[in-house]
Amino acid sequence: MKGPLGNIMKQAQEMQEKLKAAQESLASMEVTGASGGGMVEVVMTCRYDVRRVSIDDALASDDKEVLEDLIAAAVNDAVRRVEKVTEEKMGGLASGINIPGLNIPGMNG
């Protein structure tokens, strides 16, 4: 294809390849969420798979509800970190596309 449509198709294909590479990169990245001043840590991939949960020995004698709350908080912290990393990694991908006549914020520079 030649002309503007060919250029748009080329840009779309390049973006698709960059998106796939970014997704593969995110799948192997890990973040650590924490709570209780680091007494509970959750390691999670950017695909939201929990890899490890670490609980400080000092919490073993604490109330079960406290421990459950700290684990939930650490998981939630890890999820927020995954979202931030994903946004940073994926956010810039669409900025390189320039489609004439299409005014989408973030896509046309």
Identify the CATH number of the domain defined by range 3-95.
3.30.1310.10
pTM, two decimal places: 0.67
Q: Is the pLDDT of residue 107 over 50?
A: no
- What's the rounded Cα separation, in Å, for the pair 35 and 23? 28
Domain boundaries, the chain: 3-95
- Check residues 5 and 74 and name the one with the higher pLDDT: 74
Exposure of 86 in the CB half-sphere (CA atoms within 13 A): 16
Contacts 24+ apart (CB under 8 A), 4-9: 4/100, 8/99
Token pair for 81 = 């970190």
pLDDT tens-place string over residues 5-53: 778 888 888 888 888 888 888 888 999 999 999 999 999 998 899 999 9
- As a whole-number percent, the residues of the chain with pLDDT over 90 amount to 41
In this prediction, residue 80 carries a pLDDT of 95
